[in-house]
C-alpha cells in the first residue's frame, strides 16, 4: 500500500500519510489537514476516527477477536486471575511471580477506606443508585490521597492504581450493604481479590460467607472479560478528562459516569429487566424482537449490537458457556437463561438483525451469570466498573506516556444563526 493518500480539494492536491497498525489496520492521518487546506473532517460520534495509537487491546470486530497485550481473551479463561490481567494491562506484559505477589500485597495494603469516607455513606439515601455512589466516592478518593494528585512519576501512578483497584471493591460492597441496612464488613487481608469482594458483600458478623471455587472463578472471569475494550465510550471519557491534566481518580470517576448509561455498561441491567419482563408475561421474546425494529419505539434489544463487533462478541460467547457451566455446577436453575437463549435464537434468525450484523454483546449473558452468584441487579454495572478499572488505568497511563499527547479537543460545524445583535428587553417583540 502507498504511504500516502491523496486528497484533491478544488485545484489543490494534498498528500495525507497512511498509518498502519501491527495487525494491518490502516488509517489516513488528517492531523494537519486543516493547516494544509482549511478543512476539518466530520465524523459525528467518532465512529470512523482513531483518537490515539494504543498498544493495549486489539479488536477485530469482523472476525470477533479480542486480545489484551496480544493475548487472546480465551487464554485467560482456564484459571482466571483478574489481578494478573490487571497487571498485564497496566504494565504491558505478564508479571513474574514476585511482581504479582508484590502487586497483590499492595492491593491488600490499600483495601480499607478512610474512616471519613466510610462515614459519608450515612448521609446517602439508602436507595441511592450504586453507580452514583461509585462515581462520587472514586472522585472523593482525591480528597484523601492528595499526595498522589500532582505527581506523575511511575511510583505515584502505581500507588493511585492500587488504591483504585483495591478500594473499588470496598466502595461497591459498602454501597450494597447500606442499601440493605446491613453492617459494613471490612475486607479480609487473607483473602484473594474476588473472594474478598464476595466476603464484603455477603458475610454477616456472626457468619462468614464461604466462597465456592466455582463462584470465585466465575467472578474472576467476569472481571477479566470486562477489563479493557480499547476506545469505548467510558475509556474515551477517561482519556478526555485525563488529557486536560486531571488526576487518575477524577478521570476514572468520569469513566464510571459514562459506563452507567444504558447504551454502554448499564445495558447489563436493561437486559435482565427485559428478560424478567418476558418471564413475567409482560411481553414475549418475539414481541421484543419486533419492538426493537420499530424506529418510532424507544425500545432496543439490549445486549445486542456493537459499534465495533459485526460478529459474535467473543466475550458473550465465553459468558454464555460459563452460564451453562456455572449454573449447572451450582445447581441453580434460572428461567432467565432459557429466555435469553430463546431470544438470541429468534434475533439471530431475523432479517433485521442479520442485515445489520447485530449479535449478542458482553452484556447479554453477564447478568444471568451474576445473578447465579447472588449479585443483585443494581450492582451489575458496578461489577462491570470493577472489571474495567485496570483498562481505564492502563489507557490513562498510556496517554500520559505519549509524547504527542495534547488536550482532547474536537471541532464542530457550526449550524446556528449567523451574527445577530443583542436586543434590549424593552425592544423585544412579543
Ligand atoms: N436493537 C435494535 N436495533 C439496533 C440495536 C439493538 N440493540 N443495535 C443497533 N441497532 C440498529 C441501529 O438502530 C441501526 O439501524 P439503522 O441502520 O436502521 O439505522 C443499525 O442497527 C446499526 O447500528 P450501529 O450503527 O451498529 O449502532 P451504534 O454503533 O450506533 O450503537 C450500540 C451501538 C449503542 C451498542 C447499539 O447496538 C445498542 O444500542 N445496543 C443496545 C444497548 C447495548 O446492548 N449496549 C451495550 C453495548 S456493549 C458495551 O458497551 C459494553
Q: What is the pLDDT of residues 148-161, one digit of tens each?
A: 887 678 888 888 99
Ligand 1, pocket residues at CB < 6 Å: 232, 263-265, 267, 292, 300-307, 356, 358, 361-363
How close is the Cα of 270 to the center of ligand 1, in Å? 14
pLDDT at residue 155, as a whole number? 84
Question: Angle, to 10 degrees, between the axis of helix 380-401 and the axis of helix 233-243?
Answer: 40
| Confidence at residue 53, expressed as pLDDT on a 0 to 100 scale | 97
What cell numbers appear for 42 in the block? 466530520
For residue 186, the CA-to-ligand 1 centroid distance in Å is: 40
pLDDT at 3 (0 to 100)? 84
Q: Whose CA is nearest to atom 49 of ligand 1?
A: 264
How far does residue 391's CA lie from ligand 1's centre (Å)? 23
Residue 405: the pLDDT is: 92
- Residue identifier of the C-alpha nearest atom 29 of ligand 1: 307
Q: To test ligand 1's pocket by mutation, which of 43, 270, 273, 305 has the most ligand atoms within 8 angstroms of CB? A: 305
Distance (Å) from CA 265 to ligand 1 centroid = 13
Atom of ligand 1 nearest to the CA of 45: 30
* C-alpha grid cell, residue 198: 464476595
C-alpha neighbours within 13 Å on the C-beta side of residue 419: 0
What pLDDT is stored for residue 169 in this prediction? Answer: 98
- The angle subtended at Cα 240 by Cα 236 and Cα 242, nearest 5°, is 115
**Which amino acid residue places its CA nearest to atom 35 of ligand 1?**
306
Atom index in ligand 1 nearest the CA of residue 47 equals 29
Which residues belong to the active site?
A: 306, 363
Query: Of all protein residues, whose CA lies closest to atom 46 belonging to ligand 1?
Result: 264
Residue nearest to atom 37 of ligand 1 (CA): 305
pLDDT score recorded for residue 149: 85
Residue 386: per-residue pLDDT: 98
Atom of ligand 1 nearest to the CA of 361: 48
User: Which residues of the chain have a pLDDT value below 50?
Assistant: none
Q: What is the pLDDT of residue 151?
A: 65
**Distance from residue 299's CA to the centre of ligand 1 (Å):** 11
342 exposed, middle or buried (CB, 10 Å; 0-12, 13-18, 19+)? middle
Amino acid at each position: 500500500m502507498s504511504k500516502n493518500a491523496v486528497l484533491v480539494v478544488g485545484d489543490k492536491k494534498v498528500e495525507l500519510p497512511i498509518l498502519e497498525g501491527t495487525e494491518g489496520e490502516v488509517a489516513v492521518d488528517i492531523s494537519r489537514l486543516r493547516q494544509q487546506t482549511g478543512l476539518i473532517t466530520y465524523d459525528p460520534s467518532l465512529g470512523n476516527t482513531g483518537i490515539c495509537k494504543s498498544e493495549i487491546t486489539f479488536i477485530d470486530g469482523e472476525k470477533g477477536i479480542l486480545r489484551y497485550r496480544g493475548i487472546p481473551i480465551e487464554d485467560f479463561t482456564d484459571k482466571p486471575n483478574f489481578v494478573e490481567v490487571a497487571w498485564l494491562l497496566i504494565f504491558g506484559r505478564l508479571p513474574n511471580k514476585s511482581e504479582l505477589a508484590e502487586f497483590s500485597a499492595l492491593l491488600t495494603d490499600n483495601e480499607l477506606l478512610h474512616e471519613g469516607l466510610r462515614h459519608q455513606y450515612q448521609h446517602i439515601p439508602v436507595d441511592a443508585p450504586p453507580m452514583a455512589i461509585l462515581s462520587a466516592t472514586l472522585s472523593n478518593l482525591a480528597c484523601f490521597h492528595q499526595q498522589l494528585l500532582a505527581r506523575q512519576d511511575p511510583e505515584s501512578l502505581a500507588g493511585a492504581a492500587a488504591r483504585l483497584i483495591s478500594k473499588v471493591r470496598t466502595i461497591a460492597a459498602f454501597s450494597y450493604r447500606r442499601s440493605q441496612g446491613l453492617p459494613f464488613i471490612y475486607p479480609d487481608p487473607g483473602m484473594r481479590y474476588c473472594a474478598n469482594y464476595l466476603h464484603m458483600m455477603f458475610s454477616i458478623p456472626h457468619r462468614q460467607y464461604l466462597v465456592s471455587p466455582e463462584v470465585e472463578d466465575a467472578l474472576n472471569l467476569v472481571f477479566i472479560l470486562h477489563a479493557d475494550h480499547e476506545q469505548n465510550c467510558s475509556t474515551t471519557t477517561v482519556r478526555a478528562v485525563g488529557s486536560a491534566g486531571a488526576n487518575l481518580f477524577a478521570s476514572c470517576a468520569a469513566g464510571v459516569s459514562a459506563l452507567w448509561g444504558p447504551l454502554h455498561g448499564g445495558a447489563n441491567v436493561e437486559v435482565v429487566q427485559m428478560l424478567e419482563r418476558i418471564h413475567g408475561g409482560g411481553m414475549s421474546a418475539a414481541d421484543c424482537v419486533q419492538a426493537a425494529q420499530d424506529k418510532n419505539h424507544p425500545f432496543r434489544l439490549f445486549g445486542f449490537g456493537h459499534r465495533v463487533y459485526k460478529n459474535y462478541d467473543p466475550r458473550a460467547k465465553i459468558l454464555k458457556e460459563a452460564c451453562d457451566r456455572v449454573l449447572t455446577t451450582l445447581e441453580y436453575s434460572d428461567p432467565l437463561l432459557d429466555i435469553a437463549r430463546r431470544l438470541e435464537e429468534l434475533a439471530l434468525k431475523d432479517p433485521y438483525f442479520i442485515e445489520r450484523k447485530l449479535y449478542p454483546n458482553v452484556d447479554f449473558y453477564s447478568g444471568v451469570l451474576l445473578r447465579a452468584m447472588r449479585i443483585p441487579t443494581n450492582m451489575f454495572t458496578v461489577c462491570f466498573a470493577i472489571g474495567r478499572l485496570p483498562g481505564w488505568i492502563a489507557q490513562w497511563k498510556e496517554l500520559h506516556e505519549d509524547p504527542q499527547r495534547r488536550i482532547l479537543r474536537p471541532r464542530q460545524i457550526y449550524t446556528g444563526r449567523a451574527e445577530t445583535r443583542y436586543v434590549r428587553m424593552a425592544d423585544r417583540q412579543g
